[in-house]
Amino acid sequence: MGTITGANGNELHYEDTGGAGRPVVLVHGWPLNGQAWKNQVGPLTQAGHRVITYDRRGFGQSEPQHPYTYDALAGDLAAVIEALNLRDAVLVGFSMGGGEVARYLAQHGSERVASAIFAAAVTPYLLHTSSNPEGPLKKTEAAAMAAQLTANREKFFDGFTTDFFSAGEALCVSEAQRQEAIRMCLQANKLAALECMASFGATDFRDDLDRVTIPTLVIHGDADGVVPFEGSGQRTHQAVPDSELVVVPGAPHGLNVSHAEEFNAALLGFLSR
């Protein structure tokens, strides 16, 4: 583990299993950090991959730094890839992290990247607008989330993690796993959490996805109540030509924890090709 200087001079905490295998860069979701990938690091490493996780600016052990736009966040991803001199890499973006993968490929190209995985990703465009009627996030809902997070973040994260790991009314993880997620949420800088919420809710990635030409996997739970499959994963799959789609039955948003076995099988199956 160590630190890398990000796109705006910010320090990013990262962890790298090392080794000579194909590098897999795991980009975490909001408002978690790189530790959210612990169920994937071991299996990927055992399969011979070099696994890199890092904390987004303002989350986990990475220092906060304006701005929190996707251009800046994709710049941080580029900084990680370049500092570690990664080539033939696989980028895995979960939820908010899917936006970073899309924006990185659009702005920085795929010279260093072999393939991409969008996992429960916010792409192609969450916000419901007249030009994006399939967007699942209404402006009133986005405003309410920001107000709730501002008013009482402990209460907000308690409710959010329940939704994150639930399929309908059923919590799909243990209470210990949910509490672990809450602890990660509380490590996030408050302003970073708010501004990143605004970024993932209102950023349009449709043009970015049009520029994705490398082999791509889309994986999503069909019971995702946070980033619904129909408005996100399904549309991402349709937007990226020849992409593969894996839909995990009964899986909530946090399927890399709740359905880790199925999630890891999809990742490893795609990476083995």
pLDDT value at residue 191: 97
Residues tagged active-site: 95, 224, 253
Residue type, 79: A
- Whole-angstrom CA distances from 155 to 59, 147, 149, 161 are 19, 12, 8, 10
User: Who contacts 213 (Cβ-Cβ below 8 Å, separation ≥6)?
Assistant: 110
Q: Provide DSSP, 153-192.
A: HHHHHHHHHHHHTEETTEE-S-HHHHHHHHHHHHTS-HHH
Beta-bridge partners for 24: 51, 90
Q: For 173-213, how does the pLDDT look when each residue is reduced to its tens digit (9 = 90+)?
A: 999 999 999 999 999 999 999 999 999 999 999 999 999 99
- Find where tokens 């190209």 sit: 109
How far apart CA 268 and CA 245 sit, in angstroms, is 14
Q: What is the CATH number of the domain that holds 87?
A: 3.40.50.1820
How far apart CA 255 and CA 221 sit, in angstroms, is 7
How far apart CA 133 and CA 88 sit, in angstroms, is 37
- Find where tokens 């194909």 sit: 22
pLDDT value at residue 99: 98
| Total domains present in the chain | 1
pLDDT value at residue 28: 98
pLDDT value at residue 244: 98
Torsions phi, psi for 115 (to 5 deg): -160, 170
How far apart CA 76 and CA 6 sit, in angstroms, is 5
Average pLDDT on 153-160 reads 98
Q: What whole-number percentage of the chain has pLDDT above 90?
A: 99
Cβ-contact 107, 207 below 8 angstroms: no
Q: For 65-124, how does the pLDDT look when each residue is reduced to its tens digit (9 = 90+)?
A: 999 999 999 999 999 999 999 999 999 999 999 999 999 999 999 999 999 999 999 999
Query: Count of alpha carbons within 13 Å of 208, Cβ hemisphere only?
Result: 23
Other C-beta atoms lying within 10 Å of the C-beta of residue 121? 32
Residue type, 194: L
pLDDT value at residue 273: 86
Q: What whole-number percentage of the chain has pLDDT above 70?
A: 100
**Three-class secondary structure of residue 112 per DSSP:** coil
Domain extent for 57: 2-271
